[in-house]
């Protein structure tokens, strides 16, 4: 039985590179792959693009109101399809994630979703929150923090280019290379640099986490 996969990781962990590699692995075997991304991902237009400059054309760029089940179901009727890959899946709605799950189940086609687990304030996106519940397999893709801590980076931090970190604002703000950028941080660096919580004072850390309902 085909599965719904969710591969997640902090910024710059190589998600798009893995998508491109997976795509060409399928194509070398003469298998057909559908590439899709949400409309909120405005970088690279209708393409997906890795930091190395490698890119792929997408088959569909979907808005928040698109019925993904009908869209892909119609595609399947008219084309042979062996795999579905979704980049930046965190931007999809909960309903659209459920549509992908139904496609996976009804047509027995593997679906690979790639994206962030949480935003720059450590809150789940709608899409990733739903994927953590309904995906058959979860895989965290590792990356390193700027401090080079071997435990790796799990948090996404938003900052001004050439400036400080940002601890408030809208959930979605695509880095345009002009004003803001994103960096991957370990938990210690996120607490220190973004939340300004001294990690060498555990009582203050605990009080902060409780105040933000991160722990109860």
pTM: 0.86
d(CA 135, CA 7): 10
pLDDT, tens digit, 9 for 90 and up, residues 74-125: 999 988 899 999 999 999 999 999 999 999 999 999 999 999 999 988 888 9
Query: Which DSSP string do the residues of the chain spell out, in sequence order?
Result: ---EEEEE-STTSSHHHHHHHHHHHHHTTT--EEEEEETT--TTTTEEE-TTS-EEE-SEEE-TT--HHHHHHHHHHHS---EEEESSGGGS-HHHHHHHHHHHHHHT--EEEEE-SB-TTSPBPHHHHHHHHH-SEEEEPP---TT--TT---EEEEEETTS-EE--S-S-----SSSEEEEEE-HHHIIIIIS---TT-HHHHHHHHHHTTS--
* Residues 163 and 171 sit within 8 Å (Cβ to Cβ): no
**Structure tokens of 155?**
């948090």
Locate the domains of the chain by residue range: 4-140, 155-211
Q: pLDDT 10s digit of each residue in the chain, 216 long?
A: 899 999 999 888 888 899 999 999 999 999 999 999 998 776 766 788 787 778 898 999 999 899 999 999 999 998 889 999 999 999 999 999 999 999 999 999 999 999 999 998 888 899 999 999 999 999 999 888 878 776 788 888 888 887 888 878 778 776 666 688 888 888 888 888 888 776 666 666 666 666 656 555
What pLDDT was estimated at residue 200?
66
28: annotated active-site residue = no
Catalytic residue from among 28, 55, 88, 201: 88
Classify domain 4-140 at the CATH superfamily level.
P-loop containing nucleotide triphosphate hydrolases (3.40.50.300)
User: Cα-Cα-Cα-Cα dihedral of 16, 21, 22, 24, to 10°?
Assistant: 130
């Amino acid at each position: 039985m085909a599965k719904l996969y969710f591969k997640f990781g902090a910024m710059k962990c190589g998600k798009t590179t893995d998508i491109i590699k997976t795509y060409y692995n399928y194509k070398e075997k003469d298998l057909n792959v559908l590439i899709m991304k949400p409309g909120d991902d405005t970088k690279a237009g209708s393409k997906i693009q890795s930091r190395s400059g490698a890119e792929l054309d997408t088959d569909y760029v979907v808005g928040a109101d698109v019925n993904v089940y009908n869209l892909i179901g119609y595609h399947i009727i008219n084309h042979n399809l062996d795999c579905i890959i979704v980049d930046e899946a965190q931007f999809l709605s909960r309903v659209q994630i459920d549509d992908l799950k139904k496609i996976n189940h009804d047509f027995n086609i593997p679906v690979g979703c790639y994206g962030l687990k949480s935003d720059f304030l450590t809150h789940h996106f709608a899409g990733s929150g739903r994927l953590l519940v309904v995906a058959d397999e979860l895989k965290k893709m590792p990356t390193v923090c700027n401090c080079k801590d071997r435990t790796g980076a799990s948090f996404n931090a938003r900052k001004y280019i050439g400036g400080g970190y940002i601890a408030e604002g809208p959930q979605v703000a695509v880095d345009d290379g002009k004003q803001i950028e994103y960096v991957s941080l370990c938990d210690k660096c996120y607490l220190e640099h973004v939340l300004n919580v001294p990690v060498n004072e555990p009582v203050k850390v605990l009080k902060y986490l409780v105040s933000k309902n991160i722990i109860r």
